[in-house]
Structures are given as C-alpha cells and as structure tokens.
A = this chain, B = another copy of it.
Amino acid sequence: MPRVAIIGLGLIGGSIGLALKRAGLESLEIAGHDNEWGVAAKAKKCGAIDVEERHPTLAVEGAAIVVIATPISKVPAVFEDIAPALGENAVVTDTASTKRDIVRIAQKALPEGVHFVGGHPIAGKETSGIDAADAALFDGRPWAVTPSVHASERAIQTVENLIQLLGAQPVLIDADEHDAYMAAVSHLPLVAATALFSLVRESQGWAELGSLAGPGFRDTTRLASTDPGLSHDIALTNRENLLHWLDRYIEELRRYRGLIADADAQERLLEVFVRAQTERDIFVEHPPERPRPEVHRDDLTPGERMASLFTGEYVIRRRKDIEKLMQERENPRRGER
C-alpha cells in the first residue's frame, strides 16, 4: 500500500493528516510519529493517521512521501534520523516557516536519490497542538514550495499535487526570496505585535489599560500569542531579513511621528491615513493574485487523485515556472530588500 509519513503531529502535521483523509484517496496508508508521548495516539484516534510509529525511522520506511512538520529547530535532527531509512526516489518535504537554512541543510543531510522539496503552508491558528488540528486549515491558502537543487521536476510536481489535495495553492518560489518576503508580511508583524503587547503589558498602568483594551488591541497583538519556540526559531533562522524590515518599520514609525508632531503637516497626515485605508480595503477585497492551478481536483475520481499524487499524471502544467525558477537559482538574485 502506498505510504505517506508525517513526522511531527502538532497543529500542522495533524491537519495535514486530516486533510489528506478528507481528500478520499484509495488505499493510502498514513504513518505518523511524534516525539511527545501520547500525541501520535491522539492523532490516530482523531483519524489524522492510520499507523502510529515509535521512531521516525520506522515511520519513513517504505514511504513515497515524507512530510516533516516539527518545529524549525528540530528539522535538522529529523533529517539525520531518517536519512538512512529513506528509500530511493523518496520525496521529502517540510512545513517550516523559514526555508533558506532548511533547504541548505537538506542538501547536505539527505542521501543522493532522495528529493527534498521545501514547503511552507501560509496558514495557522492562535491555538496549537493536535487538539487544534483541522482538515480545512489549508483551504484556499497559499503554500510556498521551495525545491532543493537536487529535486527532480517530478518530485516538485508530487509536492504540488499533495498541497492541492490538502486544499491549498502551491506557490513555487526560491527559498531566499521566500524568507525575504516572509520577513515583511509575517515575521515583522510577529515582532511588531509582540513588542506592542509587551510594552503595554509591562507598563505600570496595566490593570486599567488591560480593562479598557478593545478588539483593536486584541487583533493588533494577536501574533504575540505565537508559540515562543517558533518565534525564536524564526528570529534565529531569518535574522538578517528580519532586522532589515525592523529597521524600515522603525523608520516608518518615525515618519508618522514627525507628521503627527508637526502642526503644519496635518494635511499630509490625513492623506497618509486616507491612502492606507483605501489601499488596505483594496487589499482585503482584491488581494494581489497568485498563479492558480489549471486543474481542479474536483474533476478527478478518488482513484485518479491517488494516481496523480504518486505518478504526477495530473500535474500543474507549470514547466515554464519551474524552468524559470531553476534558471534563477543558478543566477541568484535576492528578493526585495
């Protein structure tokens, strides 16, 4: 029976299992491992996996696809653990929020003949753990795909197929660009929200401040509730990009400060607010478009889906994108800095 292995069964790993089950593939076995006691049993009970394995090595044995959904900082150790047990032509992917380091480490740690294609589902929740797992977590969300230089086109297609089966939209992107972009739209907001919360929380008037805080404060600081291990891993593995965007943010706040303080700048200040509101409303109504896959999985029978996952029969016909990406990676240029 074809086998998919999921290493790490928290919110993301658990949701991948549930979403894969929801896709209704014929005779697929999902093996799962989590190094925290009792988690894999829970995952099995809630139907996210079929088989519970006590060691990553056992989970990946005979698996055509391996998904590593542990915290970022644990991924290198998982590579070491599973490397000897991976079969020829196995496709390995992950779900870490930063990609440059992971892809580089994978290239060194995984044996030849194994194809690493990094992944990052741009989805999440305030809650974490297997109890929060949700088959619909990835529906309609972008999912970055960052292949290693050794990954075959077929392996990339396999991962893209998997992502579509989970309900998400694969977005092929260079790992360095991914990290540069995510620093702006994910990691800077994380630090901005956390700093805002800690500033207000640690101030002397907290009892009064907290009792008067409304939904605006709650939303703006939501990311301060991110798992602290994840926040720290992100800061460690995307440091340069994050510092760059932090500096730009401090600069932007100074610009606002200048406009607010200057009685003669009130018209400009109003313009700044008008522009931000207008542009954000446009963003919410019509976010910049992502390339959409041409084939809808709803057109396929469960059997066809199964076949497509492993044989790449129903691939997203994006050879041009892939070729372009490969060329770019040979002549690397950075994302916007």
Chain A residues engaging chain B, CB cutoff 8 angstroms: 122-124, 141-142, 144, 171, 177, 180-182, 184-186, 188-201, 203-229, 231-232, 235-236, 239, 242-243, 246-250, 252-257, 260-261, 266, 269-270, 272-277, 279-281, 283-284, 287-290, 335-336
B residues near A206, Cβ cutoff 8 Å: 288
User: Does the CB pair B142–A212 fall under 8 Å?
Assistant: yes
User: Does the CB pair B277–A224 fall under 8 Å?
Assistant: yes
Within the complex, which residue of B218, B254, B256, B335 is in contact with A208, where a contact is CB–CB below 8 Å? B335
User: Does the CB pair A336–B212 fall under 8 Å?
Assistant: no
Copies of this chain per assembly = 2
Known A192-B220, A260-B246, A270-B228; judge A185-B213 contact (CB<8 A): yes
Q: Which residue from chain B places its CB closest to the CB of A189 in the assembled complex?
A: B220
User: Does the CB pair B336–A195 fall under 8 Å?
Assistant: no
Within the complex, which residue of B122, B216, B225, B274 is in contact with A186, where a contact is CB–CB below 8 Å? B216
15 A-B pairs with CB atoms under 8 Å apart are A177-B208, A180-B205, A192-B220, A198-B279, A199-B249, A201-B276, A201-B279, A208-B288, A209-B288, A211-B287, A216-B223, A225-B284, A232-B266, A236-B266, A239-B261
Known A195-B253, A212-B182; judge A220-B217 contact (CB<8 A): no
CA distance A249 to B218 in the complex (A): 17
User: Does the CB pair A209–B181 fall under 8 Å?
Assistant: yes
Within the complex, which residue of B207, B222, B261, B336 is in contact with A243, where a contact is CB–CB below 8 Å? B261
Q: Which residue from chain B places its CB closest to the CB of A120 in the assembled complex?
A: B212
CA distance A217 to B243 in the complex (A): 18
User: Does the CB pair B201–A283 fall under 8 Å?
Assistant: yes
Within the complex, which residue of B181, B198, B277 is in contact with A228, where a contact is CB–CB below 8 Å? B277
CA distance A177 to B211 in the complex (A): 13
B residues near A232, Cβ cutoff 8 Å: 266, 269-270, 273
